A = this chain, B = another copy of it.
């Protein structure tokens, strides 16, 4: 830390991303990437001719991408704002809607960035504990008096809140924005985008990193009323008007247009997930019901930390959180069938070694 840094950041704890070993040969099941490559249209779209045009700025309006998203979800383009990953979209939401006395409200166990952003912007927070079964209790969010952030399905649990219950939260927060972060919704959840027409306080955030196989392109997007999206656009044009590069705009549009490939990949991952959940339960794990591209599972005897470390020794990376209530668990990304077989084999060895 330099002596010039603002004092309020002295104790700021940034977000810790999952390990991203570069070059080492791990089976990476720790950051919820898709095991499958981007849609074939993406590879076609990012031609040498397009690369040779990188001397020109990208479209600050990101029209090709915005239009593809709007078409897919039956919205007007003015209801959609893409960002440099959904994290950037979340920054814009915190900046635009949580200022002055609004503050932020979120669960005690959820996407770690909500807490980081709340600290970054020095916000008052209302942190609501998940139930003992790791579910969101809608009533606890009624009249929150703050901007509400709900990851649905939740991370790192994978637990999904039914749309009817979410709607109750929207109804009882007419004076606040409610941001539904649907990073994992395409793996068996149901999007709140169908509620947009009825709730002017609803913002839906999605990403291309999981179900669209484009984590490395850094693309997320917000969907909401023209007014809310206009507010976020004001943030974008005040932060970084050229926030998305030329190639990611093309990649995102091509990925969004290939519905069949999207269906095939997400369906396959859900099938693999169900098989893995059964396999882990057969081995004595407690597995939360997941609608995401990961499972949150507790190896009953070994403990989460030891299991994570032993898997790493055997070349399999999963995510363990050193945090109250969830130290017994690890979060395991659903990879290819071959990757999951490696995980299960390593697990069998660990169970044998620790008998």
Contact = CB atoms under 8 A, between A and B. Distances in A.
B57 A228 contact: no
Interface residues of A, number: 88
A60 interface: yes
Contact of A57 (B91, B215, B240): B215
A214 B55 contact: yes
A193 B1 CA distance: 21
Interface string A14-50: 1101001010000010010111111000110010100
Contacts of A266: none
A355 B322 CA distance: 76
Contact of A177 (B4, B7, B55): B4
Interface string A114-138: 0011011000000000000000000
A186 interface: no
A231 interface: yes
A154 interface: no
A268 B282 CA distance: 69
B57 A20 contact: yes
A122 to B, nearest CB: 10
Nearest to A201: B4
Nearest to A58: B216
A59 B176 CA distance: 36
A52 B33 contact: no
B2 A225 contact: yes
A5 interface: yes
Nearest to A229: B2
Contact of A215 (B28, B35, B54, B95): B54
Interface stretch (A96-104, A164-172, A272-280, A296-304): A96-104
Among A51, A201, A244, which residue has the most Cβ atoms of chain B within 10 A? A51
B234 A9 contact: yes
Contacts of A215: 54-58, 242
A95 B214 CA distance: 29
Contact of A38 (B8, B55, B120, B240): B55
Nearest to A34: B55
B116 A84 contact: no
A88 B83 CA distance: 13
Given A228-B2, A237-B14, A239-B87, A7 B100 contact: yes
Contacts of A15: 237-238, 241
A230 B38 contact: no
B237 A4 contact: no
A216 B56 contact: yes
Interface stretch (A72-80, A155-163, A246-254, A338-346): A246-254
Q: Which 3 A-B pairs have the closest CB atoms?
A: A6-B99, A14-B237, A216-B246
24 contacts: A2-B225, A4-B97, A4-B177, A4-B228, A5-B234, A8-B99, A12-B234, A14-B236, A17-B237, A20-B59, A20-B60, A22-B61, A31-B57, A33-B56, A36-B55, A42-B54, A43-B48, A46-B48, A55-B216, A85-B240, A87-B240, A88-B240, A117-B238, A245-B247
